[in-house]
């Protein structure tokens, strides 16, 4: 099948899945007694919908080339939007969502739509492993010759297996897609952001306290 036709099929599936996602949300609200059965179905629908969005975004970059429409934005606002998605993604699971924007700058130049997609992909990944908490944060870090806006998502899951961690770091650094669709989307979005010869980067790391 021609790649363009495949993309059209995926686009149609994405739209239909969004309808089912909304319908499941309505059923959960209308029938609380059935939430134990309905919430996992809605969670799967939300996750699958975001993965299809990620696939289509990467397809557009591969087929036509994407560019970041960098505008002056408030990082706290994008973080809040991602936190709302996180709350929806883990609804009914008992997992809490925390947002730390204390060190976030008031404004920064970036493509809010693409960065939002990347954050949602990171949240979706964290939600699969978190046991009680997902944390989103924004801060500015000083590099040798530039300043970086850092947007991050961490969880309290089991962390990365040592062998997987080493391979994941290698893949992220070398642009491979073997660490997953969401990671590849994050890498692509970061790469599209460039300032004074510096391109955005992503990283995977174990937290000292776990996760």
CA distances, 86 to each of 20, 21, 181, 202 (Å):
19, 15, 18, 20
Residue 178: the pLDDT is 37
Degrees to nearest 5, angle at CA 2 with 185 and 190: 15
Is the distance from CB of 49 to CB of 123 less than 8 angstroms?
no
Q: What is the three-class DSSP state of 186?
A: helix
Residue 14: the pLDDT is 80
> Taking the CB of residue 5, how many other CB atoms lie within 10 A of it?
9
Residue 170: the pLDDT is 43
> Taking the CB of residue 25, how many other CB atoms lie within 10 A of it?
17
Per-residue pLDDT of the chain (211 residues; tens, 9 = 90+): 556 667 778 878 888 888 888 888 888 888 888 888 888 888 888 888 888 888 888 888 887 888 999 999 999 999 999 999 999 888 878 899 999 999 999 999 999 999 999 999 999 989 988 999 999 999 999 888 888 999 999 999 888 764 444 444 444 444 443 348 889 999 999 999 998 888 999 988 888 777 7
Residue 144: the pLDDT is 81
**Cα gap 25→3, rounded to integer Å:** 33
CA distances, 5 to each of 9, 17, 127 (Å):
6, 18, 32
Residue 7: the pLDDT is 75
Closest C-alpha among 159, 179, 184 to residue 169: 179
Residue 2: the pLDDT is 58
Residue 169: the pLDDT is 44
């Amino acid at each position: 099948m021609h790649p363009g036709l495949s993309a059209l099929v995926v686009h149609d599936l994405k739209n239909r899945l969004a309808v089912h996602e909304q319908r499941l949300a309505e059923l959960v609200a209308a029938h609380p007694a059935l939430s134990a059965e309905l919430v996992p179905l809605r969670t799967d629908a939300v996750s699958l919908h975001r993965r299809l969005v990620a696939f289509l975004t990467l397809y557009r970059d591969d087929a036509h080339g994407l560019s970041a429409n960098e505008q002056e934005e408030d990082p706290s606002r994008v973080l809040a939007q991602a936190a709302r998605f996180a709350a929806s993604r883990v609804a009914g699971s008992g997992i809490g969502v925390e947002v730390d924007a204390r060190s976030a700058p008031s404004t920064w130049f970036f493509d809010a739509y693409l960065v939002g997609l990347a954050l949602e992909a990171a949240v979706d990944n964290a939600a699969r492993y978190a046991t009680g908490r997902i944390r989103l944060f924004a801060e500015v870090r000083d590099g040798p010759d530039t300043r970086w806006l850092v947007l991050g998502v961490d969880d309290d899951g089991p962390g990365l297996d040592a062998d997987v961690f080493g391979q994941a770091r290698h893949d992220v650094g070398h642009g491979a897609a073997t660490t997953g669709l969401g990671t590849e989307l994050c890498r692509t979005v970061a790469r599209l952001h460039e300032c004074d010869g510096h391109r955005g980067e992503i990283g995977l790391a174990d937290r000292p306290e776990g996760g």
